[in-house]
A = this chain, B = another copy of it.
Amino acid sequence: MLSSEDISFFCVVARSRSLAQAARKMNVTAPAVTQRLRALETRVGVRLLDRSLNGITLTDEGELVLAEGQTIIDAVENLTDQLSDRTNTVRGHLQIVAPYGFGRRHIAPIVDAFSREYHEATVTLHLSDTPTRMVNDNWDIIVHIGELNSPGRLMTTLAPNRRFLVASRDYLKGKPPLRHPHDLADHRCLALRENDEDVTLWRFATAGEEQATIRIAPAMSTNDGEILRDWTLAGLGLAVRSEWDVAAHLASGALVRVLPQWNLPETNIVAFLNTRHNRSKRTSKMLEMLRKGLKPTPWLQAE
Contact = CB atoms under 8 A, between A and B. Distances in A.
Given A64-B83, A79-B68, A3 B2 contact: no
Contacts of A75: 68, 71-72, 75
Contacts of A78: 68
* Chain A contact residues, majority secondary structure: helix
Contacts of A46: 83, 86-87
A83 B64 CA distance: 8
A69 B79 contact: yes
A290 to B, nearest CB: 25
A83 B45 CA distance: 8
A213 interface: no
Contacts of A45: 83-84, 87, 89, 91
B84 A65 contact: no
Given A45-B84, A87-B46, A79 B65 contact: yes
Contacts of A84: 44-45
B79 A2 contact: yes
A210 interface: no
A207 interface: no
A185 B5 CA distance: 69
Interface in A260-300: none
Interface in A18-42: none
Contacts of A135: none
Given A4-B3, A76-B2, A76-B4, A83 B69 contact: no
